[in-house]
Chain A
Amino acid sequence: MLVALTEDQEFFRETTERFLVELVPPDALRALRDDAAGFDRAYWRRGAELGWTSFLVDEAHGGGSISGDGLVDLSLVAYEFGHHAAPGPLLPVNIVAGALSEHDAHAGVLAGLLAGEAVAAWCAPEPVFEVGAWRSGVTVRRDGDSYVLSGSVAPVEAAAESAHLLVTAADGDGLTQLLVPASAPGVEVTAMQSVDLTKRFGAVTFTGVVVGAGALVGEPGAAAGAVERQFLQALSVLNAEAVGAMQAAFDMTVEWGFDRYTFGRPLASYQAIKHRFADMLTWLEASHAISDAACAAVAAAAPGAFECSSAAKAYVGQYGADLVQDCVQIHGGIGVTFEHDLHLYLRRMTVDRSLFGTPAEHRRLVALHHMADLEGAA
């Protein structure tokens, strides 16, 4: 999280934090383990009232930001979500709402997302090793005035809980985005398993799903720019959330280091342990720094935004996971029990690390963009 927030941002962050502490303490999270949706609809509506779903939406469409930089404000919520391992479809709802707002499409659906009444999911493509290129599991072909979708995507966050799916489909050489009702004939969602207690994922299959031109979000075949923006926004949310989880696990472990005595001394008095804490704090500060920088670059549509976002996802994914596992190690056996709270953050970190590209995949993407820059400069 940023070193210095504006007064309004800090007020909003604190409000969100108090809300999460009150409504979804660790025991409430444990109780949601067997809940099909993983979150309570009334909780989500109240979160939407706080502004959780509005940041990527224009004011003209009923959205708005606190600082003028909606993505940065959203990253504050995402950070608190990580810091409290909070439930709710924060990432998919915001990405879809932002896309609908940007393309001035599906005003009714957008209003429902903003109000927290409805949930939507993004059937996202994956970047491939070529600047500006994507691989989608879904293809679309035009049939008169209709569009026919076929293929499958997984994992899709909150797929089963969503009334609508934003589908990024391959369309010849280009990409087309369509908003498809989850109830449309030929759409099938299969629930998937995950380590996170409250995030839910589905595998979505499209078998000859037919929608009209009204389903379009943006121009057909021309969605590459929008898809890149959505993808980078998703990375900003995931990185901020992962850093929140890292911070929570770290703070908890520092406290443990002072409180836990062994051989008559606190754990935090052993140099071997102290040096691990120093490494962890360095990884943590570096993760804060790079994820904030990437978020700001995406918000400003800066030239190096993709490279920086991939660097953030690669760094936070690798060192965040190592940090939380080190926290487990320093806790000892209690750190791998369901009773202790540490695993809430380990679970969230594990999922955030693996969504939208692993550290290894993003290291390659950093190289791709770096080499393109070097060639451009030469």
Chain B
Amino acid sequence: VSALRAEALEDSAAMEGLDAFRERARTWIEANLREATLEELRWARGTLSEAAELAQVARDRELQRMLFDAGLAGICFPKEYGGQGLTMAHQRVLNEELGSREFPMRYQVPTFSPCATVILEFGTHEQKLRHIPAILRGEELWMQFLSEPSGGSDVAGALTTAVRDGEQWVLNGSKVWTTGAWWSDWGLVLARTNWDVPKHRGLTVFMMPIHQDGIDVHRIEMLNGSHEFCQEFITDVVVPDGDRIGEVDDGWTVGTRWMFHERMLFNSPYVNNPVGRIRGGSNGSTVAMVAQELGKMDDPATQELVGEARMFELVAEQIHTRVGDSIRTGRRSDQAAAIGRLFHGMATSRSATIGLEVAGSSGAAWTGDGEAAAAAVNFLMRQVGSIGGGTTEMARNVISERVLGMPRERTLDRDVPFRDVPRSRPSSS
């Protein structure tokens, strides 16, 4: 059982009671946070202009600072590092009270989790003191430098290399799918430090500032017009050994927990998940709005589809809670987080198809910018929920092999030095 889990479960007589906490949170939220606009609730579309996006990033930093000053930041982070030292139950109360108010959504994932949780779990006392309070005060936005262009699901096959040079390391390579790296401050990097051992045994984790010479951030245009994702090119970037997280060549120990925190994002005690948030794309509420806009709510076939999308939304809330509780109480291993991840992929994919169906011919051509107008673009992005954060195929492997204990897939890269493992041919594009 990790220290993190014990902290999240911690309870004591001295701790603020849930009712008192709710009252305090509600009073402050009502006085300080306005209702979010629909556009803010649906940030996942990420199609704002650059200036508008930067204005919202600045507002998020400000909101995070306000929450910190109010004693409402980092509910489950230890007090020692600027958090509140409270429990998951308190975090759930805060999620309920935040409802559909504005909140610093850019801080949640990946800054609080998995980045800050990885630092909390594997960082030294000094590293934690340096970064976690700063994160909770709204001063540092973090990104995960994890995936690489050479392979998505095979994270341990990282090619980005760190070479030791005395008390520092020199990094070269490329990372991709970092959300908003262009407006973020720090990156958590998984890099190869040893090519002569099998792939899982030659990795190390580092922290590095994103905006420095040697890091080129390119923004990637997605099918919905969003430019939120980035690719970074890292050339001779120097990182002091003091910014290494965990032991040299033991990065996979860190990486395993890193990905656990990533899969837990919908039920992490370290992340605000306000209940009124729309998690992007099509869901019960947006599909209902499409039906309303098109005047189709009296059509029984449409009713059935709207109900199905809403059903997924309701079930999603409950399965994430159940899986999280199963893990926190030790009834299931951390690997069970893949169950919530797989559900998310299946449900979002089906909901996007439902949205397109209810939109009718608006799925081909539309005017205006209502929900019906968004249905086709949401459909283009349908598979994102089954790809991002580890594919559903990987989740299916994890569930069958790690949760149900079924025989592992045969691998050809397990016991050979990484430099001898066959790799993709370089892409020509």
Contacts and interface: CB of A to CB of B under 8 A. Distances in A.
B285 interface: yes
A268 B406 CA distance: 6
B75 to A, nearest CB: 21
Contacts of B326: 3
A164 interface: no
B319 A286 contact: yes
Interface stretch (B211-219, B241-249, B310-318): B310-318
Interface in B304-333: 304-308, 310-311, 314-315, 317-319, 321-323, 325-326, 329, 331
B399 interface: yes
A279 B342 contact: yes
A352 interface: no
Given A268-B406, A286-B319, A374-B285, A278 B342 contact: yes
Interface residues of B, number: 44
A290 B315 contact: yes
A79 interface: no
B359 to A, nearest CB: 16
Interface in B361-412: 393, 395-401, 403-404, 406-407, 409
Contacts of A311: 307, 310-311, 314-315
B201 to A, nearest CB: 25
Contact of A367 (B303, B323, B407): B303
A362 B396 contact: no
Given A3-B322, A286-B315, A370 B306 contact: yes
A134 B273 CA distance: 37
Nearest to A308: B314
B304 A279 contact: no
B220 interface: no
Contact of B343 (A3, A129, A282): A282
Contacts of B36: none
Q: Which applies to chain A's interface (DSSP): helix, strand, loop or mixed?
A: helix
A315 to B, nearest CB: 5
A139 to B, nearest CB: 26
Contacts of B346: 279, 282
Interface of B: 284-285, 288, 292, 297, 300, 303-308, 310-311, 314-315, 317-319, 321-323, 325-326, 329, 331, 338-339, 342-343, 346, 393, 395-401, 403-404, 406-407, 409
30 contacts: A3-B329, A3-B331, A4-B331, A129-B303, A268-B407, A269-B407, A275-B397, A275-B400, A277-B399, A277-B400, A278-B342, A278-B396, A278-B399, A278-B404, A279-B346, A282-B343, A282-B399, A285-B319, A285-B343, A289-B318, A289-B322, A290-B314, A290-B318, A311-B311, A311-B314, A315-B311, A362-B307, A364-B304, A365-B307, A367-B307
